Amino acid sequence: MVGFALFGAGRIGRLHAHNILRHPRAELVQLYDVLRPAAEALARETGAAVAPSIEAALADSRVQAIIIASSTDTHVDLITRGVRAGKAVFCEKPIALDLARVDACWREIEPFDPLFQIGFNRRFDPSMAELKRRLDAQELGPLRQLVITSRDPDLPSLDYLRRSGGILRDMTIHDFDMARFLLPEEPQEVMCMASVQFEPRLAELGDHDTAVVLLRTRSGIQAVIMNSRRAAYGYDQRVEALCEGGALFVGNLRPHAVERWDSGATGAAAPLLHFFVERYRESYERELDAFIEAIERGQPPPVGFEDGRRALLLAEAAYRSLAQGGVVAVPSS
């Protein structure tokens, strides 16, 4: 059994807590949140202890691994303390909102040869993983063009948006990782176009709600990422991989398989699974399982610190492209 301390009892923390509960080889030992009532409520549901402090949580010798699901600005500190305390660390994305902090964090923890996993859960989605498997096997020959459509069902609160780091760091970051996951080479060039289409107040924040990012690898493979903060029909998560011998598509999922056919429309299915907690339920379970397996085997997790860093690198390059209005080279390291 792997003992866990969980930092953060918000939506994503609760999700991890329940996945630990259901996992046959995991145990939730300590729970910490700056909002103590949130921690206590989750503790009642899960049977975990509420840690009075971060130190206390990390000091518990039963705690072998930590999950960081608190707000982004706490990530670097918790990662560093967790690694120093000898814990395996799972951290929700992003590591930080700027590359300098990420790099500084790495310099701090590298000497400890940390077992670190970043929360790019989509890699563990059964459909995305199946697509990756088939692309690696070149089932339809080499990849020629990759298209990622990623639209949220609706805008988060303006308050959230203010602290989000901008659409490219907050939302596209997952798609940057998906592109890197699926492409056979690192992207070398980035181009970006972004607009305010749904929420005029975003303009004041210098943020956007609609964006298209183009990536290009050394050999010329293009990846197109299309984002929108709002898609009234639900959480739209599609990938399309044009290969030499055809294409592979990942479509959307729905809560049930009932279709309505009437005089106005045929084949009308349910709206899409609303958001990431529903759509990626299985991938959250599987990323936890992969983390536990990495701990048990003492091997690096399948998606690590450098993956978190690389996605941010692309986000920053995309912001430079936006500012300059043109192609931007991605730093090679």
Q: Residue 8 carries which side chain, given as an amino acid letter?
A: G
Q: Is 100 exposed, middle or buried (0-12, 13-18, 19+ CB in 10 A)?
A: exposed
41 binds a copy of itself (CB under 8 A): no
Contact string (CB under 8 A) for a copy of itself, positions 8-37, x = contact: --------------x---------------
232 binds a copy of itself (CB under 8 A): yes
266 binds a copy of itself (CB under 8 A): yes
268 binds a copy of itself (CB under 8 A): yes
Q: Which of 234/308 has CB closer to a copy of itself? A: 234
Q: Identify whether the C-beta of residue 192 lies closer than 8 Å to the C-beta of residue 211.
A: yes
From CA 274, how far away is CA 279, in angstroms rounded? 7
Spatial CA neighbour of 145 closest among 175, 94, 184 = 184
DSSP per-residue letters across 280-304: THHHHHHHHHHHHHHHHHT---SS-
Cβ 287 to a copy of itself, closest distance in Å? 16
- Torsion sign, CA atoms 89, 74, 35, 56: positive
Instruction: Tell the residue number behind the tokens 């395996």, with chain if given.
Output: 88
Stretch near a copy of itself under the rule CB under 8 A, chosen from 4-12, 155-163, 191-199, 291-299: 191-199
205 binds a copy of itself (CB under 8 A): no
Restricting to residues 121-150, name those near a copy of itself by CB under 8 A. 126-127, 130-131, 134, 139-140, 144-145, 147, 149
Instruction: Tell the residue number behind the tokens 């305010």, with chain if given.
Output: 196
Q: Which of 71/195 has CB closer to a copy of itself? A: 195
222 binds a copy of itself (CB under 8 A): yes
Restricting to residues 51-80, name those near a copy of itself by CB under 8 A. none
Cβ 19 to a copy of itself, closest distance in Å? 11
